[in-house]
Structure 1
Amino acid sequence: MSDTHTVLHDPQGLIEAELPLDRAPHEALVTAVLAWTNPDLEPRDYEQIALQLTGHARAVAADVRRHAAALPKSDGRGALAEVVLHEADRRLTAPLERTSRCAQNRARLVRALYTRLDRLREPAPPAP
């Protein structure tokens, strides 16, 4: 048996753009995590939940970035998306902690990114 692999070169993210986000299960996870009042999980469980939310946040952020880039420069939604993306990048570079607070912060980030994505998908407002 040989160890071979194929390296995928997709600098424009075209393959990723064709894959739909698996939104429903992640929104259910976000809702559950944000409903926690006094969870009693093991630290490794918090870490796994935060990792799952982090990966999904990165995917949603990439989708937001693609939609924002396709907008005309005069569309203010692009500027708002850039603010959200800058904050997302900052929060995603923070190290994960094995706490409920960390998992809830990642859940809030996923929710904020989906809110922005939904607004970018709306039809453009009429020109004044």
Structure 2
Amino acid sequence: MLHDPHGLIEAQLPLDRPHEALVTAVLAWTNPTLAARDYEQIALQLTGYARALAADVTRHVALPKHDGRSALADVILRETNRRLSVPTAGTARCVQNRARLVRALYTRLDRLTEPLPATA
């Protein structure tokens, strides 16, 4: 499990997307019936991974000021901080919200790491 509320291990974590399948599964739920403690454990895993992804996005934000990707990354990081400040709850809704956050961070990280198109 990757529960690291103080962000002590995120700098050493290889982000090979082990939680992508979990995110996909959680977002596909239509009427889950797990115990509250199971929802809490999944939410903690996704929270820890969201923190690690946010740290990776932060490391990639050091882009030139004229690069719009940096501004968009700042927006997602502010939203991430706001959403992670809300305590986890033992509900499917909470888990799905954390999964959406991880998915948004994956998307932002992909955009930050893709090369800019060459200009003619």
Q: Same fold (TM over 0.5)?
A: yes
Percent identity over paired residues: 76
Any unmatched runs of 5+ in structure 1?
1-12
Q: CA deviation at 1:16?
A: 4.7
Aligned to 2:51: 58
Aligned to 1:93: 85
Any unmatched runs of 5+ in structure 2?
1-6
Larger Rg: 1
Q: Does 1:47 align with 2:47?
A: no
Q: Does 1:21 align with 2:15?
A: yes
Instruction: Give the 4+ runs in structure 1 shifted more than 2 A.
Output: 15-19, 124-128
**Which of residues 105, 108, 112 in structure 2 aligns to 1:116?**
108
TM-score (norm 1): 0.82
Q: Does 1:103 align with 2:99?
A: no
Give me the whole-angstrom Cα distance separating, in 2, the residues matched to 1:63 and 1:40. Answer: 33
Aligned to 1:8: none
Q: Does 1:73 align with 2:65?
A: yes
What amino acid does structure 2 have at the position aligned with 1:100? A
Aligned to 2:4: none
What amino acid does structure 2 have at the position aligned with 1:44? R
Q: CA RMSD in A?
A: 1.8
Query: How many corresponding residue pairs?
Result: 113
Give me the whole-angstrom Cα distance separating, in 1, the residues matched to 2:16 and 2:41. Answer: 18
Q: CA deviation at 1:126?
A: 4.1
Give me the whole-angstrom Cα distance separating, in 1, the residues matched to 2:43 and 2:10. Answer: 22
